[in-house]
Amino acid sequence: MERVLIHIHGIVQGVGFRPFIHKQVRAYRLAGTIKNTSSGVELELEGEREELERFLADLPHKAPKLAVIEKIESEFFTELKHFTDFRILQSKTEDQRNTLISPDIGICDDCLRELLDPADRRYRYPFINCTNCGPRFTIIKDVPYDRAKTSMSEFPMCPDCDREYHDIENRRYHAQPDCCGDCGPHVFYLDAAGNPVAGDAIALARAALKAGKIVAVKGLGGIHLSCRCDDPEIARTLRRRKQRDEKPFAIMCRDVDCARKICEVSKAEEALLTSFRRPIVLLKKRARGTLAHLSENNDIGVMLPYTPLHVLLFGEDIDMLVMTSANLSDTPIVYRNDEAVEKLRGIADGFLLHNREIQTRCDDSLCSCLDGEAYFARRSRGYVPFPVSVHESVGMILACGAEQKASFCLSKGNYVFPSQHIGDLKNVETLENYEQQIRHFEKLFDIRPSAIACDLHPDYLSTAYAAARSEEEGIPLIPVQHHHAHMAACMADNALSGEVIGLVWDGTGYGTDGTTWGGECLVGGYDGFARVGSIRPIPLVGGDLVTKEPLRVAWALEHDAGEKIPEGENEAVWEKMLAGGLNCPPSSGMGRLFDGVSAMLGIKTRCSYEGQGAILLEAAAADDDGLYPIAWEEENGLLRFDWRESIRAIRAELARGTDRGVIAARFMNTLVETGVRQCVFARERSGLERVVLSGGSFQNRYMMHRLPAALEDKGFAVYHHRRVSTNDEGISLGQLMIAGAALERK
Ligand code: ZN
Ligand code: ZN
Ligand code: FE
């Protein structure tokens, strides 16, 4: 017999870890104690040395799936304390509000089996769940997390469920949302006018979908609009009703094999699709024209059913359905039954709803697969509100994010809690939701910020919120330059300290000189930065209008490059505006360069959603290694990519009739080369070898398949985002780290 003291570091609280250990201790015939510590849990166990070692070896791969074990330390002793049983010790400092809250988890295999087993008491019950799956974050009103503080409070457990709940051997032990057909929520179906329809709700919804209707389906964090995938006419109807012109719709496939019928699915992509987090994964279509009415580019967003209700809706004969957030253009996702009927009137032909309330909106997560891992465009359902751990403790800070892809982060020690997808704050309802969610997170995790970080942009609504709160609460406000925040976000994402080179490419960010930046090469760390590379500013003829009308950018690029432009009425007006400096703010936005070239190639001359020009340019790219000539301007240590030479080359190729796909590829190859050259320039100045890549432009997969490799070829260590989004949704993490460093200095 021996005694062992074990420290488990990581995210092991609030994830069913203690019941798990309890079971393991029994299985290995051990005795001892467990208690929570500030960095994880501490175990003290006695038993046969061999059993103790097997127990330790099994821990990492048997642990609950939400647990993140960062390190296990163990020390053996020969003198015994003669434990006779297993006890959970309440540590004195243990604060209920230190407990983490689980994200919502997709249906597990055990529940799926029971759901489809006619002999099981939960056969075809659409709310089946267990300790390993089901709703969590989206049904919680307050902490501590127990049934009384969730949407399940109005459904008292029946004796059968109660027995399972209290049986430590049962897989529903302490599963707060546990329920069955006798005691839990139920589904119902409403017609277009919101009147109840008698009959089997799921059968009614299935029949409506098959008949080509648009049906609102209540999910975990909100309501989806669903319809058949195969009929362009239905998709057009949905677009018209939803006021969504061309933006791609995500689809839900019954299983991976159904997804494979239309998309290529790698092993890593399959693992992402089937993971308990069930994000929407961007997959490459097998044929470009497949489902073009749902997605106009080469990819389509695919997810698998993640609630038992979805499983029943698909049955055995529906392969795929459109599943898009139920909302009107840019408003937040509809999530309550009453507002569903009111707001979706005229959009949905029917409603498959239920009486378990959603407390908190949480949109589907969206990612692609990069190096075998999730690469986020949106980190939301299935991930939030789980923290990302950071390597330096930052205390309690609120970081308010950007504006169009709003998000916030709150920190507590080494944990940073990034918010779910919020949306564009310029929408009033979205702004309200943003403010509510900040308060909700502060309550859930008991965080009282001692400082507030925000973007440097004076007009962002997130900045206004931050300033108002800083004033009200008398706590410091720390404005952070946009691209510096991107760089710091990618550093924290990869647990980097010190100084790095940051290649930060996006559409728009407020610069320290008051102009719009966006294709930047920075050098620095959390403490500060210097701007060493950028691109030649592009005059945005008509200001913000250019994002919708990229033809204006194309014209400005060609005009500046000295090309003869065929004169039309518009051009004459633009010429005057430019000459008079009238509403032509300069921008070094990389996104604008993409838009402009996309419009020059005639790929997209009017955009109906953000980034559309760049996305379609990427989609059009052929397989080609060519490059265009690159020129540079250097002033005061700032190396600017002068794109005029490249624009002239593109113009000449267009005149020669070169394939547009080839031009698109050569243009992006040119950008990869400029990125490498800027990093080499930055390395010569600074001696730094680590490069972080951040910004919305790096959602471009063509670039992400070439730029890191090209940089590595030159001897750089390259880091991209792994845990938060590369677009503006991720910058709150960087703001937070920079604010943390600023407070530290004081
Ligand atoms: Zn389950
Ligand atoms: Zn029950
Ligand atoms: Fe940005």
Spacing, Cα 15 to ligand 1 middle (Å):
14
Spacing, Cα 242 to ligand 3 middle (Å):
27
Spacing, Cα 143 to ligand 2 middle (Å):
23
Give the CA angle between residues 70, 72, 75 to the nearest 5°: 160
Spacing, Cα 737 to ligand 3 middle (Å):
16
Class of domain 187-354: alpha beta
Query: Any residues with CB less than 8 A from the CB of 458 and at least 6 apart, and which?
Result: 510
Residues 651-677 have pLDDT tens digits of 999 999 999 999 999 999 999 999 999
> What architecture is domain 2-88?
2-Layer Sandwich (3.30)
* Closest ligand to Cα 131: 1
- Span 434-446, average pLDDT: 96
- Span 544-548, average pLDDT: 93
Spacing, Cα 6 to ligand 1 middle (Å):
29
> What architecture is domain 501-721?
2-Layer Sandwich (3.30)
Residues 352-410 have pLDDT tens digits of 999 999 999 999 999 999 999 999 999 999 999 999 989 888 999 999 999 999 999 99
Per-residue pLDDT, 67: 86
Say if domain 387-478+730-736 classifies as CATH 3.30.420.360: yes
Can you point out the beta strands (E) in 229-355? 251-253, 280-284, 299-303, 320-325, 350-354
- Span 155-167, average pLDDT: 95
Spacing, Cα 274 to ligand 1 middle (Å):
14
Place of tokens 């509100």: 385
Spacing, Cα 157 to ligand 2 middle (Å):
5
Q: Which residue has the higher pLDDT, 295 or 40?
A: 295
Cis peptide before 385 (omega within 30 of 0): yes
* Closest ligand to Cα 307: 1
* Closest ligand to Cα 520: 3
* Closest ligand to Cα 122: 2
Residues 549-582 have pLDDT tens digits of 999 999 999 999 997 777 788 899 999 999 999 9
Output the pTM of the full model: 0.94
Beta-strand relationship, 690-694 and 717-719:
parallel
* Closest ligand to Cα 504: 3
Residues 196-238 have pLDDT tens digits of 999 999 999 999 999 999 999 999 999 999 999 999 999 999 9
Spacing, Cα 421 to ligand 2 middle (Å):
33
Residue 10: pLDDT band (50, 70, 90) is confident
> Is residue 590 scored above 80 in pLDDT?
yes
User: How many of the other CB atoms lie within 10 Å of CB of 289?
Assistant: 7
Q: How far is CA 32 from CA 92, 427, 699, in A?
A: 18, 55, 50
Let me know if the fold of 2-88 is the same as that of 387-478+730-736: no
Secondary structure (DSSP) of 495-544: T--S-EEEEEEEEEEE-TTSSEEEEEEEEEETTEEEEEEEE--EE-TTGG
Spacing, Cα 174 to ligand 2 middle (Å):
14
User: What residue segments make up the domains of the chain, in order of their start?
Assistant: 2-88, 187-354, 387-478+730-736, 501-721
* Closest ligand to Cα 306: 1
Spacing, Cα 65 to ligand 3 middle (Å):
33
Spacing, Cα 138 to ligand 2 middle (Å):
21
* Closest ligand to Cα 170: 1
Spacing, Cα 119 to ligand 2 middle (Å):
16
* Closest ligand to Cα 164: 2
* Closest ligand to Cα 694: 3
* Closest ligand to Cα 163: 2
Burial (CB count within 10 angstroms: exposed 0-12, middle 13-18, buried 19+), residue 39: middle
Spacing, Cα 552 to ligand 3 middle (Å):
22
Residue 35: pLDDT band (50, 70, 90) is confident
Place of tokens 């309802």: 429
* Closest ligand to Cα 113: 1
